[in-house]
Amino acid sequence: MLNYKDIRLWRLYALVLILLSAFILFIRTIWILQIGKEGQRLREKAKKQYFSEISLPAQRGIIYDRHKRPLTVNVEKVEVYQHGSIDRKTYNILRRYGLYTVKHPKHIIKIGNINPLYVDSINMINRTYAKRHHGKKNYVLSIHRYFGRYTVVEEGYSSLIGYVGSEGVGLYGIEKVLDDYLRGKDGILPCIKSAGISHREKFFTLDRGRIEPIPGKNIILTIDAYLQEIAYAALKEKVDELSAKGGFVIITNPKNGEVLSMVSYPVKNNENFVTKYPYEPGSTFKLVVYSAALDAKIISPFDSIDTKDGKLTVENKTISDVHKMGKITWLEAFSHSSNVAAATLALTLGRKKMYEQILKLGFGSPTGSFLKGQCLPPGYYKKWKKSKLATLGIGYGLLVNGLQVAMAYGAVANGGYLYSPKLLLGKNPIRVRKALGERSVKYLKLFMRDVVEEGTGKKAKIKGITVYGKTGTAEVYDKKLHRYDPRRKVVSFVGFFPNDPQYLIYVVIFEPKGVPWLMYGGDVAAPVFKKIAENILWSRLHENI
């Protein structure tokens, strides 16, 4: 039987055990809340309830032309949001600022934009409102600063520069391609939420922990703003005149691959005709077959070929000339753009040589995300039938983009070197390869000069100036009809000048409307080339006076 002394001792042991258990439980709880995963979760939850961040927008880098003329501008803008209901007096004041307000919004709503100069006035309205209601209600207005992005001159630049979305991310054109470079990094302003049960409560900003925004980097393009404007004006005039689907103009310096101008018209729903639509080039692609034949010494300018009645049938496919030419020289065949002569030459070269020359001149290769074109995988030429080879010789059966054609003809202008197109000033030009031999360069210049003097490109002729050029016309393949539609054409002209070429201009117009036998590259695109070239020459003359 336990005595009183033993009972007291057991009570003491029990109390010590309870206290020890409570202490252990306390330590365990502290451990869980301070160090364990549950503590981390609760801390994160508390931060979300009491702490927040305001994004401090970074200014986007400016895009300049080659002469340091700004092509884009950042404009600070302020959006105003309403939280909860407002009284009549505040409502009337806000209306004076042109802000649309509602009395009982269910959610935070945007009520309009204001001039950044009025930000202090909005803050004063907030303070006055809170004071008028004896601090019982929270502020009902909040502001969000950001930078609007605009091109300095919308016409002529939107297809190249592109645009920036509402989140400050480049979505198109240069703005998209160089977005990581231009965007910069937003800053952070830590905040504490005021007391309340709603996520609508006002924030109190903290200077400690503030991270300033880092502006984006500026870029200088190779684009010349003056050339961009005259190219756009000439293109727009012709497209509107012929109610064409659209078109583009590319101007380059063939000596180093610099892109001096790149315009597209019209620009609807981001339809940039330079970058979005690969196409079959037609007769401008005859550069491939003639250059290969000249370098291989298969032909000479004054050797003759009999085009007979202007028709050539290959595997049940007939290739025709616009006019019967009979027996002509290769110079005349190129100058007057004989399809029969070019197709015959392609068959003479064979599949492998034709394939190699296509790749050598920069066609059939990947062009990246900015430009689209068809790729020819290794060994693809082995699948070509004779009819495919013949049609390749006249510019059908392969999709290209504008810069590919411009760079290929640039190789004729600069002595045979293929350059990669260059859009950023200050970067070293990239010489891809020696694409043409001395013999082909020499005779191709002779051929292209004769195109303008005596052939299909007479409308590109400029008095007193030697112009080298090539016309192109291709019918558009109708997927619904499963055939080429002679009423729908892609017409083009590519040329360079003067004798030591500093400018290459490539004009392409899609589906001009009019008399079918007048809708050819020499009739439609060559005059656009001439107008642009004359403006360039005029500006150079005045610079030297």
- Quick one: pLDDT band at residue 203, thresholds 50, 70, 90? low
DSSP per-residue codes, 9-72: HHHHHHHHHHHHHHHHHHHHHHHHHHTSHHHHHHHHHHHHHHEEEEEEPPPPPPEE-TTS-BSE
Tokens of 164: 């920036």
* Range of lowest pLDDT (140-149, 209-218, 274-283, 444-453): 140-149
Q: Which of 253-257, 271-275, 508-512 has the lowest mean pLDDT?
A: 271-275
Residues 6+ apart with CB under 8 A from 3: none
Report residue 48's pLDDT band, with 50, 70 and 90 as the boundaries: low
Query: Of 440 and 128, which is predicted with more confidence?
Result: 440
Asked, for residue 487, whether it belongs to a domain, the answer is: yes
Q: Is the dihedral of CA 61, 407, 400, 474 positive or negative?
A: positive
Whether 325 and 310 have beta carbons less than 8 Å apart is answered as: yes
Q: Specify if 446 maps to a domain.
A: yes
pLDDT for 432: 93
Q: Which residues contact 62 (CB under 8 A, 6 or more apart)?
A: 70, 72, 73, 74, 218, 219
CATH number at residue 131: 3.90.1310.10
Find the domain containing 202 and state its range.
53-220
* 424 pLDDT higher than 90: yes
Neighbours of 275 (CB within 10 A): 25
Q: Is pLDDT at 184 greater than 70 in this prediction? A: yes
Share of the chain above pLDDT 90, in %: 53
- Mean predicted confidence (pLDDT) in 128-148: 73
Residue 12 lies in a domain: no
The answer to whether residues 97 and 197 belong to one domain is yes
The DSSP secondary-structure symbol of 280 reads -
For residue 171, what pLDDT is reported? Answer: 84
| Confidence bin at 369 (pLDDT 50/70/90) | very low
Burial 383-413 (b: 16+ CB within 10 A, else e): ebeebbbbbbbbbbbbbbbbbbbbbbbbbbb
* Cα–Cα distance for residue pair 22/28, rounded to 1 Å: 10
Residue 211 has pLDDT above 50, yes or no: yes
**pLDDT above 70 for 6:** no
3-state secondary structure of 493: strand
Q: How many domains does the chain have?
A: 2
Separation CA 179–CA 334 (nearest Å): 44
8 Å CB contact between 231 and 532? yes
Mean pLDDT of the chain: 86
Q: How does residue 1 score in pLDDT terms, banded at 50, 70 and 90?
A: low
Question: Packing angle between helix 402-413 and helix 286-295, nearest 10 degrees?
Answer: 30
Q: Does a structural domain hold residue 245? A: yes
Distance of CA 126 to the CA centre of its chain: 44
In this structure, are residues 312 and 389 in contact, taking their beta carbons and an 8 Å threshold? no
Please report the pLDDT score of residue 38 as a whole number: 63
**Could you tell me if 371 and 229 lie in one domain?**
yes
Residues 212 and 290 in one domain: no
Q: From 145, 143, 136, select the one nearest 194 (Cα to Cα).
A: 136
One domain, residues 422 and 525: yes
Q: What 3 state SS string does 84-97 have? A: CCCCHHHHHHHHHC
**pLDDT of amino acid 197:** 42
Question: Is the separation of the CB atoms in 96 and 176 below 8 Å?
Answer: no
Least confident range from 88-97, 311-320, 353-362: namely 88-97
> Position 524: which residue type?
V
Amino acid at position 162, single letter:
G
Q: From CA 154, how far away is CA 71, in angstroms rounded?
A: 9
Cis omega (within 30 of 0) on the bond before 516? no
Q: What percent of the chain has pLDDT over 70?
A: 87
The dihedrals phi and psi of 523, each to the nearest 5 degrees, come to -90, -35
Q: What is the maximum alpha-carbon separation in the chain? A: 138
Among the ranges given (57-71, 120-134, 413-427), the one the predictor scored with the smallest mean pLDDT? 120-134
Same domain, 300 and 171: no
pLDDT at 437 over 90: yes
pLDDT (tens digit per residue) in 85-114 = 777 888 888 888 888 777 666 677 788 888
CATH number at residue 336: 3.40.710.10
Residue type, 64: Y
Question: Helix or strand or coil: residue 4?
Answer: helix
State yes or no: pLDDT of 282 exceeds 90. yes
Contacts of 142 (CB under 8 A, 6+ apart): 80, 81, 83, 108, 202, 203
Most confident range (mean pLDDT) of 1-10, 110-119, 382-391 is 382-391
Please report which confidence band the pLDDT of residue 496 belongs to, taking 50, 70 and 90 as the band edges: very high
Amino acid 325: pLDDT: 93
Query: Same domain, yes or no, for 303 and 184?
Result: no
**Most confident residue range from 48-52, 84-88, 509-513:** 509-513
Q: Can you tell me the distance from the alpha carbon of 448 to that of 446, in angstroms, rounded to the nearest whole number? A: 6
pLDDT class of 333 with cuts at 50, 70, 90: very high
Give the pLDDT of residue 49: 63
Question: With helix as H, strand as E and coil as C, how does 376-388 read?
Answer: CCCCHHHHCCHHH
* Rounded average pLDDT over 380-407: 94
Check if the beta carbon of residue 274 is closer than 8 Å to that of residue 402.
Answer: yes
**Cα torsion 273, 276, 277, 283: sign:** positive
Q: Give yes or no: residues 209 and 258 share one domain.
A: no
Are 330 and 381 within 8 A, CB to CB?
no
Same domain for 328 and 315: yes
Over range 394-409, report the average pLDDT. Answer: 95
* Overall residue count recorded for the chain in this entry: 545
Query: Whole-model pTM?
Result: 0.83
- The most confident of the ranges 259-273, 496-510, 512-526 is 496-510
Write out the two tokens for 431: 């010489």
What torsion do the CA atoms of 328, 287, 376, 340 make, to the nearest 10 degrees? -20
> Could you tell me which residue, 371 or 498, shows the higher pLDDT?
498
The torsion angles phi and psi of 329, rounded to 5 degrees, stand at -80, 165
pLDDT tens digits, residue range 371-384?
666 778 888 899 99
- Amino acid residing at 279: Y
pLDDT band at 539 (very low <50, low <70, confident <90, very high): confident
Domain boundary among 220, 241, 262: 220
Of 37 and 395, more confident = 395
Most confident of 34-38, 177-181, 457-461: 457-461
pLDDT tier at 212, thresholds 50, 70, 90? confident
pLDDT surpasses 90 at 127: no
Cβ atoms of 495 and 457 closer than 8 Å:
yes
Residue 425 lies in a domain: yes
Sign of CA dihedral 448, 513, 270, 377: negative
At 198 the pLDDT is 45
Nearest-5° Cα angle at 367, 361 to 373 = 80
Q: What secondary structure letter does DSSP report for 303?
A: -
Residue 36 lies in a domain: no
Question: Of the candidates 220, 252, 271, which is a domain's last residue?
Answer: 220
Same domain, residue pair 380 and 345: yes
Closest CA to 199 of 91, 69, 49: 49
Query: How far apart are alpha carbons 118 and 48 in whole angstroms?
Result: 31
Q: Are residues 255 and 199 in the same domain?
A: no
Could you count the other beta carbons within 10 Å of the beta carbon of residue 307?
23
- Residue listed under structure tokens 């009025």: 118
Token digits of residue 29: 């709880």
> Which structure tokens are listed for 445?
């210049």
If pLDDT is split at 50, 70 and 90, which confidence band does 47 have?
low
Q: Are 207 and 248 in the same domain?
A: no
| Runs of H (alpha helix) within 350-437 | 351-360, 386-393, 402-413
Q: Would residue 392 count as lying in a domain? A: yes
Dist CA 5 CA 22 (whole Å): 26
Chosen domain end from 220, 250, 276? 220
Give me the pLDDT at residue 364, please.
Answer: 85
Amino acid at 407: M
Do residues 269 and 290 share a domain? yes
Residue 199 is predicted with a pLDDT of 44
State phi, psi for 100 to the nearest 5 degrees. -85, 125
Q: Do the domain assignments include residue 198?
A: yes
Q: What is the mean pLDDT of residues 117-132?
A: 80
More confident residue, 364 or 369: 364
